[in-house]
Amino acid sequence: MPALELPSYLTDRSAVPLEIIQYPHPILRHKSRPLQRVDAELRRMVREMFDLMYEARGIGLAGNQVGLPYRLFVTNLTADAQQTEHERVFINPVLSKPKGLAEAEEGCLSLPGLYAQVRRPERVTIAAYNLAGEEVTLELDDLPARVVQHETDHLDGVLFIDRLSESALAELREPLDEFEIEFQQHRQQGAIPDDQRIASHVAELERLRT
């Protein structure tokens, strides 16, 4: 196998920039496993996640959205790369104490251009580790509560479109079909591996860190 074809986990990852993965790539349906450790390479990948998130003008990004099958996500509710004091990293997050119900518009960097009203608990408690390895517990409401629920869903392979009523989902059928057609075209062009190859790549990444 020529060196350039080596799977990225066998090469220097700095040579393999992360990219945001779009629906309906199967890794978006993967249930991610907890991380066992935080190391320099993970910190570098987290930095790359923030950069990709800002580039796409997002406020949250989950590991599997950049091909990393780990239970972690990043947020910055300001979407402003200058406001680094608002950057948060959530590793192995656990949600509890959902309260109330609220509906608001959501979008997703893996479904660019698609928006819908999503109903979720209005308040939630989240416990997670940060990059320093400290456990942090936060009681959140409104937008912060919505974002951590949306991102934790990603770690379980759930997308916001899964939380829509059948009729609301039907309204998005056309753009969703377009995403699916584009995905198949990319696959035919060889830009996206087949399901089996993706699964073995994911298993290898899991073996390294979970």
Q: Please give the residue ranges that form the binding site for Co ion (CB under 5 A).
A: 108
- Which of residues 7 and 78 has its CB atom nearest to Co ion in the complex? 78
Give the shortest CB-109-to-Co ion separation in angstroms: 6
SS3 177: helix
- Which of residues 22 and 92 has its CB atom nearest to Co ion in the complex? 22
Cα(131)–Cα(144) distance, rounded to whole angstroms? Answer: 19
In DSSP terms, 130 is beta-bridged to none
Q: Nearest 5°: phi and psi at 135? A: -85, 130
Please identify which of the residues 48, 87, 106, 151 carries the catalytic annotation: 151
- Beta carbons of 19 and 55 less than 8 angstroms apart: no
Give the shortest CB-73-to-Co ion separation in angstroms: 9
Q: Residue of minimal CB distance from Co ion?
A: 108
- Which of residues 108 and 205 has its CB atom nearest to Co ion in the complex? 108
Work out the widest C-alpha separation in the chain, in whole angstroms.
Answer: 56
- Beta carbons of 158 and 122 less than 8 angstroms apart: no
Q: Is residue 103 among the annotated active site residues?
A: no
Give the shortest CB-126-to-Co ion separation in angstroms: 16
Cα(132)–Cα(134) distance, rounded to whole angstroms? Answer: 6
> Catalytic residue numbers?
151
